[in-house]
Amino acid sequence: MVLFLGGMNIMIKYTYKELTKILKGHKLWLDDSKTGKRAVLYKADLNGADLRYANLQGAILYGANLIDADLKGANLSDTILSGANLIRANLYKADLNNADLKGAYLIDADLEDINLEGADLEGANLSDAILMDANLKGANLSDAILSGANLIRADLSGAFLNSASLYKADLSGANLSDANLENVILFKVILTGTNLIGANLRGVNLSDANLTNAKFKENE
């Protein structure tokens, strides 16, 4: 384990052997908390790490550097990833159910077909992220930045998007039923065929938005 000091920012670099040991201990913790040890990777430098299909359920990855990391199919449900850097990370079909991603950076990340149901993404930056077919039911996206994000067919039913920015995002065919969109910026957003039934649209900016075939009421 090596500490990198950059001003006040401290990152911890693990060797492959050390990381493998932590993951094995975490697996035991998941099976029997008395014998294993929960993975604590606080401020870990995992830049470009290969964590495909890893089981990190409930792990602590607060402030971790996961730039360009491959987390395809990984189990990250209930994981603490607040403040983590996941720029360009591959999270295709990963499970982040109820994960804590407050203030995380997910710019240009591949989140296609991901499970983010009930996840906390308050203040997270998902600019230009791919969220096609993503499950975001009941997720908290308050104050999040989703400018240019691809949310085609994403399920955001019951999600909280208060004061979020979706400038130029594509929400074609997305489900926003019963979502809270109060004060959301939907400037130049594509909402073709989007389900907005029961959504709270108070204070929403829909300037230059494409609302072709968008559904606001039943039987429309």
The model's pLDDT over 100-112, given as tens digits with 9 standing for 90+, comes to 999 999 999 999 9
Where does residue 101 rank: exposed (0-12), middle (13-18), buried (19+ CB within 10 A)? buried
Global confidence as pTM: 0.92
Tell how many helices (H) and how many strands (E) occur in the chain. 1, 3
Q: How confident is the model at residue 32 (pLDDT cuts 50, 70, 90)?
A: confident
Residues above pLDDT 70, as percent of the chain: 95
pLDDT at 172 over 60: yes
* Contact between residue 153 and residue 133 where contact means Cβ atoms under 8 Å apart: yes
Domain ranges of the chain: 2-39, 116-220
Q: How confident is the model at residue 35 (pLDDT cuts 50, 70, 90)?
A: confident
pLDDT at 147 (0 to 100): 97
pLDDT at 133 (0 to 100): 98
Among candidates 122, 129, 76, 72, which has minimal Cα distance to 99? 76
Q: How confident is the model at residue 92 (pLDDT cuts 50, 70, 90)?
A: very high
pLDDT at 3 (0 to 100): 53
Mean pLDDT, all residues of the chain: 94
Residues above pLDDT 90, as percent of the chain: 88
Question: Where on the phi/psi map is residue 7: left (φ > 0), alpha (ψ -120 to 50), or beta?
Answer: left
At 81, list the tokens. Answer: 């990833």
pLDDT at 11 over 60: yes
The CATH code of domain 116-220 reads 2.160.20.80
More confident: 161 or 16: 161
pLDDT at 17 (0 to 100): 92
pLDDT at 51 (0 to 100): 95
pLDDT at 2 over 80: no
At 91, list the tokens. Answer: 């999270």
Dmax (CA) of the chain: 61
Per-residue model confidence as pLDDT tens digits over 118-168: 999 999 999 999 999 999 999 999 999 999 999 999 999 999 999 999 999
CA torsion sign for 11, 98, 111, 209 is negative
